[in-house]
Amino acid sequence: MKTAGYDIALLVNERFLNQLAGALFYSGFLTINGSVDFYNGTLMLEHQVQDFRKDLSLALEGQVDDDLKPFLKMDFRFKLTQEPMIDFVQDASGQRIRFSLGMRIYFWLWQGLEIKFDSSLLFSAPVIIDTDMNLTADLTNADIEELLLKYGSSMERPIAEKLDGIVEEALHMYFANHTIEKRLSIPSISCIVKDVED
């Protein structure tokens, strides 16, 4: 089919975006559980472990009693507070899908103290729609465009910067092992216009 120079025109409507946003929210998208061990210099996310703040770990080595080591571990959890807002954008690298969302972030430290913050996150990722009308968003190459943690005025800046670093690193670890796949449910042209072949 030829229309205005294009082989086919595809309109992704609001209903599809709502379905995708709802599916992500209720499937636990961006629900992240992890921990940071400052003594060992590791950041753990589910079954992934990577180095984190090794400079601090090396400085603490041999300086902390075994009884105090659990106090150098901090657990965390991220959870969406509502369905994400989704948009499609075009840039120099091609088609991308952009997500704007709110999260609640929990930190547990010192073997029981809980602190929590609200956060807003804006990120985008490359998107591909194949010939079978399957949409795939490649989160491995996601770009975090904006990350805002709402600590309140009492939080000291050096501590806030360290927590920002933990959150950003955990997001990158999560993105590195996730993709979004969704089939586009649209009627064929032959169903709309009689006697037109797909």
Domains of the chain plus CATH, in order, are 14-192 (3.15.10)
Q: Could you give the CA distance from residue 195 to residue 198 in angstroms, rounded to a whole number?
A: 10
The residue that leads in pLDDT, 58 or 38, is: 38
pLDDT score of 37: 81
Q: Could you tell me which residue, 176 or 188, shows the higher pLDDT?
A: 176
The dihedral sign for the CA sequence 163, 43, 179, 80: negative
Measured between alpha carbons, how far is 10 from 79 in angstroms, rounded to an integer?
A: 33
User: Is the model's pTM score more than 0.85?
Assistant: no
Cβ-based burial of 157 (10 A; exposed 0-12, middle 13-18, buried ≥19)? exposed
117-138 confidence digits (pLDDT tens): 898 999 888 888 777 777 788 8
pLDDT for the residue numbered 18: 74
Interval 42-69 mean pLDDT: 71
Q: Please report the pLDDT score of residue 169 as a whole number.
A: 85
Instruction: Give bridge partners of residue 183 from the DSSP assignment.
Output: 134
Q: Which helix (H) or strand (E) holds 192?
A: helix 189-192
Output the pLDDT for position 114: 84
183, 133 contact by CB (below 8 A) = yes
Contact of 83 with 103, CB cutoff 8 Å: no
Within a 13 Å sphere around the CA of 118, how many CA atoms are in the beta-carbon half? Answer: 5
Kindly state the average pLDDT of the residues 178-186. 69
61-81 tens-digit pLDDT? 666 677 767 777 888 899 999
> What is the model's pLDDT at position 102?
92
- The residues that bridge with 80 in the sheet, in sequence order, are 103
pLDDT at position 190 is: 42
Is residue 19 scored above 60 in pLDDT? yes
The candidate with the shortest Cα–Cα distance to 76, out of 140, 143, 163, 154, is: 163
Amino acid 136: pLDDT: 83
